[in-house]
C-alpha cells in the first residue's frame, strides 16, 4: 500500500517537473505577484511591513488556485483515473496521495522562496520566521481543500474560473490565522496560538478535502 | 467454484437511460467471453460494472461468491481493466509509464520491462508516448496487463489501432492467460480465434421496455 502511494507521488512529482509549467507556474505567480507590491505601493518600509503578511498570504492562496486546475483533470482525460480507481487500496488514499504530491510540487517551493519575498516586504526576524512557519503549516490545507474544487470541476470547460470561485472562500480560515500569526510576531507577541489554529484548520482540510474530493470523483467515474 | 465472476439480474442505467435489464453473465477460470453488439448496446458499461467502476442499479455482481461491492479491494487486486483511453502520460516514456503501473500494483521496473516485451513494445520503450503512433501507444497500454498477475482481464476494444501482428500477439497472450486459468471478458468485433471463447450477444437498448437481457 505504501509502495503504491509512493509510486503515485513519485509519478505526479515527475509529471509536474517534466511539464515545467505545472509545478513552477504557481511559484512564479507567487513571486511575481508579491514583487509587484513594492512597485505599486512604494518602497516605504513601514507600509510594506504592515501589508506584508496579507500580501504574501493572498499571493500564496492564488498560487495554489492557479496550480490546481489540472490536479485530476489530466488523469481523467487520458483514462488514468480509471486505473487509479482500480488500484487495490481505498480510493481516498489515492486522492490524498495526489493532494500531497500537489503540495510538494506546487506549494512547498512557495514556502521555500517565501523568506526572500518576506525580506523584500520588509519583514524581519521573528515575523519572517513566523511567516515561513505559518506557510509551512497552512499550505498543505490549501492543496486538500483545493482538491474538492478540482474534483468537482473535472470534465467542465472553463474550470479555472469556477475553481477560484469554489475554492477561494474556503481558504478564508487559513488566510485569517496565517496573517494573524505573522502580525502577532511582528508586534512582538507569541504567534504560537495562531499557528496552532492554522494547523488545526489544515488537519480539518486534510480530512474534509480527501473525503469530499473522493466522493466527487467517484460520482464522476459513474 | 474457486473463482468466478457472476452477474445476476443486473440492470444498468446511465444518465437516466436504461442500458440493459436483468443481464445474466457468468465467467469461470479458463473461459473467455466476447461481448458483441451494436454501438450503444452497453458493452463498455458492462465492463465498467464488472470492474466495479460503476454500480448496477439493481442486481448483484459477485466474485468467487462474494459481492464485489463488499470486498472491492481484493477484486481490484485481481483484475486488469483496459478501457478505450490509454491511461498513459504522453510526456513520460513508455517504460516510465509502465514502471508506474507496475509499482502501483506492487511490482517493479523488471516487471514493467517484461510486460513491454510481451506486447512487442520493447523497441520504443524509451520514447515519449506522445511521439509514438496510435498502434504503438495501444501496445504500451496493453502491456499494463502484464505488470502484475491478475486472474480477470476486462478489455474494451483492445484491438483498436493494432496491426495484424499485434492482434495475433494479443490473441496468443489471451490464449496463454486462459490456459493458465485466467478469465477474460472482452468487447471486440475482431475474431481473435480463441479456442473456447464464448460469444455473448448484446442487443441494442431500445428504451425501457425492450432492453436486452
pLDDT digit string (tens) for B56-113?
A: 999 999 999 899 999 999 999 999 999 989 999 999 999 999 999 999 998 889 999 9
A20 in reach of chain B (CB within 8 A): no
Chain B hits for A85, CB-CB cut-off 8 Å, are 53
- The residue behind cell 473525503 is A211
Whole-number Å distance between alpha carbons of B74 and B62: 12
In contact, B125 and B95? CB cutoff 8 Å: yes
Picking from A96, A131, A136, A98, the residue whose alpha carbon sits closest to that of residue A117 is A131
Whole-number Å distance between alpha carbons of B92 and A22: 15
In contact, B208 and B202? CB cutoff 8 Å: no
* pLDDT for B3: 86
Whether residue B100 and residue A11 make contact (CB cut-off 8 A), yes or no, is: yes
Of B77, B86, B100, the CB nearest to A78: B86
B164-208 pLDDT tens trace: 999 999 999 999 999 999 999 999 988 888 877 889 998 876 555
Whether residue B77 and residue A88 make contact (CB cut-off 8 A), yes or no, is: yes
Best residue of B78, B92, B100 to probe chain A, by most A CBs closer than 10 Å:
B100
| Residue of chain B whose Cα is closest to the Cα of A94 | B104
Report residue B156 as a C-alpha cell: 474494451
* pLDDT for B134: 94
The whole domain housing A46 covers: 2-221
* pLDDT for A155: 79
Phi, psi of B205 (to 5 degrees): -75, 135
Is the pLDDT at B211 greater than 60? The verdict is no
In contact, A159 and A69? CB cutoff 8 Å: yes
* pLDDT for A158: 76
Q: If you average pLDDT over residues A24-41, what whole number do you get?
A: 92
Show the CA angle centred on residue B117, arms to residues B113 and B119, nearest 5°: 125
Going by pLDDT thresholds of 50, 70 and 90, the confidence category of residue B14 is confident
Chain B hits for A87, CB-CB cut-off 8 Å, are 76, 104-105
Of A74, A79, A84, the CB nearest to B83: A79
| Residue of chain A whose Cα is closest to the Cα of B84 | A79
Of A11, A15, A86, the CB nearest to B76: A86
B7 DSSP assignment: E
Q: If you average pLDDT over residues A113-133, what whole number do you get?
A: 94
A192 in reach of chain B (CB within 8 A): no
Picking from A123, A149, A135, the residue whose alpha carbon sits closest to that of residue A51 is A123
Going by pLDDT thresholds of 50, 70 and 90, the confidence category of residue A161 is confident
Of A82, A88, A222, the CB nearest to B81: A82
- B7 strand-pairing partners: B25, B61
Cα B210 to the center of its chain, rounded Å: 27
Is the pLDDT at B142 greater than 90? The verdict is yes
In contact, A210 and A166? CB cutoff 8 Å: no
pTM of the predicted protein model: 0.92
* pLDDT for B10: 93
| Residue of chain A whose Cα is closest to the Cα of B77 | A88
Whether residue B54 and residue A88 make contact (CB cut-off 8 A), yes or no, is: no
Is the pLDDT at A21 greater than 80? The verdict is no
Going by pLDDT thresholds of 50, 70 and 90, the confidence category of residue B2 is low
Is the pLDDT at B213 greater than 60? The verdict is no
pLDDT above 90 as % of chain A: 79
Going by pLDDT thresholds of 50, 70 and 90, the confidence category of residue A164 is confident
* pLDDT for B205: 62
Chain B hits for A74, CB-CB cut-off 8 Å, are 89
Of B77, B79, B88, the CB nearest to A78: B88
| Residue of chain B whose Cα is closest to the Cα of A10 | B100
Of B73, B77, B87, the CB nearest to A83: B87
Is the pLDDT at A22 greater than 80? The verdict is no
Q: What is the DSSP string of A51-63?
A: HHHHHHHHHHHHH
Whole-number Å distance between alpha carbons of A108 and A131: 14
Chain A hits for B144, CB-CB cut-off 8 Å, are 83
Whether residue A19 and residue B81 make contact (CB cut-off 8 A), yes or no, is: no
* pLDDT for B155: 95
pLDDT above 70 as % of chain B: 95
* pLDDT for B206: 55
Whether residue B104 and residue A4 make contact (CB cut-off 8 A), yes or no, is: yes
Structural domains counted in chain A: 1
* pLDDT for B113: 94
Whether residue A15 and residue B91 make contact (CB cut-off 8 A), yes or no, is: yes
A80 in reach of chain B (CB within 8 A): yes
A15 in reach of chain B (CB within 8 A): yes
* pLDDT for B194: 84
Whether residue A3 and residue B103 make contact (CB cut-off 8 A), yes or no, is: yes
Of B83, B88, B91, the CB nearest to A82: B83
B43-60 pLDDT tens trace: 999 999 999 999 999 999
* pLDDT for B1: 45
A189-200 pLDDT tens trace: 999 999 999 999
Amino acid at each position: 500500500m505504501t509502495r503504491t502511494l509512493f509510486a503515485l507521488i513519485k509519478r505526479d512529482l515527475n509529471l509536474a517537473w517534466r511539464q515545467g509549467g505545472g509545478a513552477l507556474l504557481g511559484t512564479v505567480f507567487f513571486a511575481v505577484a508579491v514583487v509587484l507590491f513594492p512597485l505599486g505601493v512604494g518602497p516605504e518600509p513601514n507600509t510594506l511591513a504592515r501589508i506584508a503578511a496579507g500580501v504574501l498570504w493572498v499571493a500564496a492562496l492564488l498560487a495554489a488556485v492557479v496550480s490546481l486546475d489540472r490536479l485530476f483533470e489530466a488523469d481523467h482525460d487520458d483514462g488514468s483515473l480509471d486505473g487509479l480507481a482500480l488500484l487495490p487500496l481505498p480510493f481516498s488514499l489515492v486522492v490524498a496521495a495526489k493532494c500531497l504530491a500537489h503540495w510538494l510540487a506546487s506549494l512547498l517551493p512557495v514556502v521555500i522562496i517565501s523568506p526572500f519575498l518576506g525580506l523584500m516586504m520588509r519583514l524581519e526576524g521573528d515575523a519572517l520566521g513566523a511567516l515561513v512557519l505559518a506557510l509551512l503549516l497552512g499550505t498543505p490545507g490549501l492543496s486538500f481543500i483545493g482538491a474538492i474544487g478540482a474534483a468537482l470541476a473535472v470534465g467542465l470547460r472553463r474550470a479555472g474560473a469556477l475553481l477560484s470561485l469554489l475554492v477561494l472562500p474556503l481558504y478564508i480560515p487559513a488566510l485569517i490565522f496565517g496573517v494573524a500569526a505573522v502580525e502577532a510576531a511582528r508586534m512582538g507577541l507569541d504567534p504560537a496560538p495562531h499557528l496552532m489554529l492554522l494547523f488545526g484548520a489544515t488537519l480539518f482540510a486534510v480530512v474534509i478535502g480527501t473525503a469530499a474530493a473522493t466522493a466527487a470523483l467517484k460520482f464522476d467515474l459513474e | 467454484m474457486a473463482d468466478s465472476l457472476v452477474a445476476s439480474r443486473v440492470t444498468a442505467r446511465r444518465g437516466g437511460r436504461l442500458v440493459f435489464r436483468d443481464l445474466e453473465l457468468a465467467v469461470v477460470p479458463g473461459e473467455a467471453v466476447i461481448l458483441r453488439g451494436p454501438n450503444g448496446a452497453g458493452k463498455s458499461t458492462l465492463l465498467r460494472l464488472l470492474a466495479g467502476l460503476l454500480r448496477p442499479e439493481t442486481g448483484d455482481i459477485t466474485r468467487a461468491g462474494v459481492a464485489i461491492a463488499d470486498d472491492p479491494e481484493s477484486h481490484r487486486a485481481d483484475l486488469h481493466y483496459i478501457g478505450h483511453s490509454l491511461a498513459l502520460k504522453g510526456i513520460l516514456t513508455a517504460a516510465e509509464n509502465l514502471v508506474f503501473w507496475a509499482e502501483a500494483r506492487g511490482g517493479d521496473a523488471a516487471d514493467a520491462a517484461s510486460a513491454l516485451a510481451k506486447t512487442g513494445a520493447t523497441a520504443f520503450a524509451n520514447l515519449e508516448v506522445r511521439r509514438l503512433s496510435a498502434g504503438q501507444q495501444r501496445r504500451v497500454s496493453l502491456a499494463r496487463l502484464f505488470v502484475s498477475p491478475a486472474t480477470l482481464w476486462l478489455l474494451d476494444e483492445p484491438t483498436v489501432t493494432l496491426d495484424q501482428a499485434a492482434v495475433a500477439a494479443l490473441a496468443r497472450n489471451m490464449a496463454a492467460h486462459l490456459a493458465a486459468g485466467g478469465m477474460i471478458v472482452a468487447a471486440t468485433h475482431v475474431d481473435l480465434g480463441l479456442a473456447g471463447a464464448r460469444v455473448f450477444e448484446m442487443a441494442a437498448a431500445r428504451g425501457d421496455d425492450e432492453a436486452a437481457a
